Structure 1
Amino acid sequence: MTTGLATDPTTGPGTALRGGADTPAAPPASPRRRRRTLKRALIATALALGVTAGGGYLWLDSTSEVKVTGAAECTAVTPAGTGSGTGSGTGDRDAVCGVLSSLTSAWGAADADAYGALFTQDATYTTYVGTHYQGRGDITEAHRALFGGFVKGTKLADSVLGIRFLGPDAAVVTSRGDTYTGGRPEELSKVQTYTLAREGDGRWRIAAFQNTQRRPVMEKASFLLSPGTVPGAEK
């Protein structure tokens, strides 16, 4: 009696042949093979994303230069605001710049006492990692340790962005700055604010210092996502 099914003599009767082929259909992939295929696909995807992210980071970094870099010579800056630093010549501006120059010299000489003497007795000092020092003694002893450790052998670089007098006895200086060894760096990675006061002996000293590490890639990304945050001077 005929069943209507082609048979394969090697497998016995009842095995259906498709399209005239004389071999059975391939068995499904094993769980191990499927996991291996999935793993390879995930690795390839991760590599592609990594390359894309790396390229994007490099592009952001290469396009994040600032336009306003400041003046390497503090005395070349025209002060703003009110006080004798603007209306009665440049004497106070030069005195303020002299404090910053002495600060650089004391750092280069690793002289913690000379460095600390440029601050008021109750000065505050905030580093770019967020460490906050209170008082001249605290600032002096911290730099004594730094000059013998983390920043040993380094120099200071400053580029003044602005000097603003808040009255006859107070001034704010903003600058770009960095520590370095060897040649002075072209790009300074920190933004700094000095608040200075003229004390009773007639000398200007630093009453407060704030140091901020610039994050160029994060800054550039924020400008792209929110163009309204770009400073006027950088547009």
Structure 2
Amino acid sequence: MSGIEEAWAAGDAGAFAALHAPMATYLAFDGTLMVGRREIESGHAPLFRGIMRGSRLLSWDRRVRLVSSDVAVATQMGGIVMRWQGDRATPSAKRVSANTTVLVRDGDRWLVTAFQNTRYRPWADTLLGRLMTRSSG
């Protein structure tokens, strides 16, 4: 489990924010933009006390590319398993997102300097997408 996932599981907004660079940007799935550790912490604290209390953050299909020796770009799929979903191994489809994370080296650790979260809704899987891509035959 990554430090991000551990801080999330602990519901610790301060620890979660501390894994981000001082002026990191965090773009949530709903378009909310948080800039800096203070906003990231204050944006997550009520979630961890409320609806996200006891939830688990999962990530998979992570791909990391080093841009330089001190900068990396990671893409991954991720999602939340809510506390009432028990020991579920994967998030429900409505909670799956595609994420892009930019990390910077800070001494011997990596910090998130930019994070962007997009709900995963492939157009081809929508009714309109299926209708428009259906071949006539």
Q: Distance in 2 between matches of 1:215 and 1:154?
A: 22
Letter in 2 for 1:194: T
1:22 maps to none
Residue 170 of structure 1 corresponds to: 71
Distance 1:148 1:136 in 2: 18
Does the CA-based 8 Å contact 2:60-2:76 persist in structure 1? yes
The answer on 1:191 being equivalent to 2:98 is: yes
1:113 to partner: Cα distance? 1.0
Q: Which moved more, 1:122-131 or 1:177-186?
A: 177-186
Query: What residue number does 1:152 align with?
Result: 53
Given that residues 80 and 91 in structure 2 are in contact (C-alpha distance below 8 angstroms), is that contact kept between their aligned partners in structure 1? Answer: no
Q: Is 1:115 aligned to residue 16 of structure 2?
A: yes
TM-superposition CA deviations, 1:88-118 (whole Å, max 9, x none)? xxxxxxxxxxxx7010000000011111110
Counterpart for residue 209 of structure 1: 115
In 1, are the aligned partners of 2:102 and 2:113 still within 8 Å (CA)?
yes
Q: Does 1:101 align with 2:7?
A: no
Q: CA 1:223 to 1:170, structure 2 compared with 1: closer, same or farther past 3 Å?
A: farther
- Unmatched runs of 5 consecutive residues or more in structure 2: none
Preserved contact between residue 23 and residue 36 of structure 2 (Cα < 8 Å): yes
Could you tell me which amino acid in structure 2 is paired with residue 212 of structure 1? T
SS in 2 for 1:147: helix
Whether the 8 Å contact between 2:18 and 2:37 is mirrored in structure 1 is yes
Report the alpha carbon displacement of residue 133 of structure 1 after superposing the two structures with TM: 0.4
For 1:190 and 1:219, the matched residues in 2 are separated by 16
Shift of 1:173: 0.8
- Bigger helix fraction: 1
TM value normalised by structure 2: 0.82
Runs of 4+ residues deviating >3 angstroms? 221-227
1:155-199: CA deviation from partner (whole Å, max 9, x where unpaired): 011003311110100001111111003212166621011100012
174 and 180 in structure 1: CA distance in 2 versus 1, 3 angstrom threshold: same
1:225 has 2:132 as partner: yes
List gaps (5 residues or longer) in structure 1: 1-99, 228-235
Q: What TM-score results when the alignment is normalised by the length of structure 1?
A: 0.49
State the Cα distance separating 1:204 from its structure 2 match: 0.8
**In angstroms, what is the RMSD of aligned CA positions?**
2.1
Larger Rg: 1
The percentage of counterpart residues that share the same residue type is 34
CA distance in structure 2 between the aligned counterparts of 1:113 and 1:186, rounded to whole angstroms:
24
The amino acid across from 2:90 in the alignment is P
**Counterpart secondary structure, 1:130:** coil
Contact 1:104 1:156 in 2 (8 A): yes
Kindly indicate which of the two structures has a greater share of residues assigned to strand: 2
Preserved CA contact (<8 Å) 1:161 1:176: yes
